[in-house]
Amino acid sequence: MHYAVYIHIPFCQTKCLYCAFYQQASRQQAEDAYVEALLKEIAHDAKLEQIRTATIDSVFFGGGTPTSLSPANAGRLLAAVREQFHLAPDAEVTMEGRVHDLVPEKIEAWLAGGVNRISLGVQSFDTALRRRVGRIDAREEVLRRLALLRREDVTIIADLIYGLPGQDLASWLADIRTLAEADVDGMDLYQLNIFPGSDLEKALRTGRVPACADLAGQADLYLAARDQLLAEGTERLSFFHWRRRRLSVWLRRRRQFRRPKLYAAEGTFCLSADGIPRRKAHHDDGASAGRARAAPLRQPGQRPGEGLRRFPPPDDARFAARGARICAMRPFTCRMSGRRSKDGC
């Protein structure tokens, strides 16, 4: 039986304006304690029959910002994964993170530990846009650090967000063109989401940042990026995911993974050894990666994904039309600001 493993790292050096994910500020003491807890849980679960007899085709370090880990802690976790799990010879090992962490000592630790795919939250190459939403490095520094990583034999994925505050079509298409300059292997294009009560929603409501594109505007940005990427010969894998060059191990194998084992900080969702999703309680010290305690989100006996809505294949025309229909709705009063819109957007 083939499995995928997800390991959650909840720490971030800074909080981006648009982010709604669970996270904790990076502190070395908390990081050390958390890694110790992860190592104990990995060692424990590696002895389970379900895991001991499994072949692991994919390992994904997500967050948070996994690249915020010190080289020593990243090396310890990667070594534990190699020693405790039976990895397939061509297993894909992904480290998710931010460009600011692309420094030689960290890159060396990741590659020495077996990382062969790095997914980076670039979000935009535009310096003004990046600073507006809390990203650290300017465009020139982003490209310099990507060039440093490009020297290594590793697959590079860059995430971009469309609909950021003040982003227009010209700056968005400039970001798409810069992907070719950065020579990344793949890219993920994500629509900006604004959650009620989030830092971004508050900043928009108070006028601290420029307005974001409405749904119809986001559809226009997406379609413009799609047309440009297809014209460049980039292959679309889904609405979000594109690849330019080397095919990742995960996509090449096309495995049907069953019951992925997740290791996560308490306060996140995880799958326990029985494959049942459970919600964990928050703990401020971030030191525990213990067992799930709350009621399962899926009842025993149900198959993974049972009852979930199945989404159809990508349909660009329907996506654009849906945005146009929503923006043509009658005016409404915003429940948060009390202001009445003029055009339904």
Residue 93 and residue 35: Cα distance in Å, rounded? Answer: 18
% of the chain residues with pLDDT over 70: 71
pLDDT score at 187: 96
Q: For residue 16, is it left (φ>0), alpha (ψ between -120 and 50) or beta?
A: beta
pLDDT score at 65: 94
Residue 283 has pLDDT above 80, yes or no: no
Residue 289 has pLDDT above 90, yes or no: no
pLDDT score at 62: 94
Query: Which pLDDT band holds residue 20 (cuts at 50, 70, 90)?
Result: confident
pLDDT digit string (tens) for 24-58?
788 899 999 999 999 999 999 999 998 999 999 99
pLDDT digit string (tens) for 113-168?
999 999 999 999 999 999 999 888 999 999 999 999 999 999 999 999 999 999 99
Q: Of 121-135, 240-254, 287-301, which range is least confident?
A: 287-301
Task: Spell out the domains of the chain, with CATH numbers in brackets.
Answer: 2-290 (3.80.30.20)
Q: Of 4-18, 68-82, 162-176, 254-268, which range is least confident?
A: 254-268
pLDDT score at 314: 52
Q: Judge contact between 61 and 80, C-beta under 8 A.
A: no
Q: What is the pTM of this model?
A: 0.73
Q: Rank 205-209, 301-305, 333-337 by mean pLDDT and report only the highest.
A: 205-209
**Burial class of residue 252, CB neighbours in 10 A (0-12, 13-18, 19+):** exposed
pLDDT score at 42: 96
Residue 55 and residue 60: Cα distance in Å, rounded? Answer: 15
Q: How far is CA 277 from the centre of its chain?
A: 19
**Amino acid identity for residue 270 in this structure:** C
Residue 319 has pLDDT above 50, yes or no: no
User: Within the chain, what is the greatest distance between any pair of CA atoms?
Assistant: 61
pLDDT score at 21: 76
List the structure tokens of 143. 């490209």
pLDDT digit string (tens) for 62-92?
999 999 999 999 999 999 999 999 999 999 9
Residue 172 has pLDDT above 90, yes or no: yes
pLDDT score at 306: 39
pLDDT digit string (tens) for 179-231?
999 999 999 999 999 988 889 999 999 999 999 999 999 999 999 999 999 99
pLDDT score at 264: 53
Residue 288 has pLDDT above 70, yes or no: no
pLDDT score at 19: 85
Q: With helix as H, strand as E and coil as C, how does the chain read? A: CEEEEEEEECEECCCCCCCCCCCEECCHHHHHHHHHHHHHHHHHHCCCHHHHCCEEEEEEEEECCHHHCCHHHHHHHHHHHHHHCCEEEEEEEEEEECHHHCCHHHHHHHHHCCCCEEEEEEECCCHHHHHHCCCCCCHHHHHHHHHHHHCCCCEEEEEEEECCCCCCHHHHHHHHHHHHHHCCCEEEEEECCCCCCCHHHHHHHHCCCCCCCCHHHHHHHHHHHHHHHHHCCCEECCCCEEECCCCCHHHHHCCCCCCCEEECCECEEEECCCCCEEECCCCCCCCCCCCCCCCECCCCCCCCCCCCCCCCCCCHHHHHHHHHHHHCCCCCECCCCCCECCCCC
- Residue-averaged pLDDT of the chain: 78
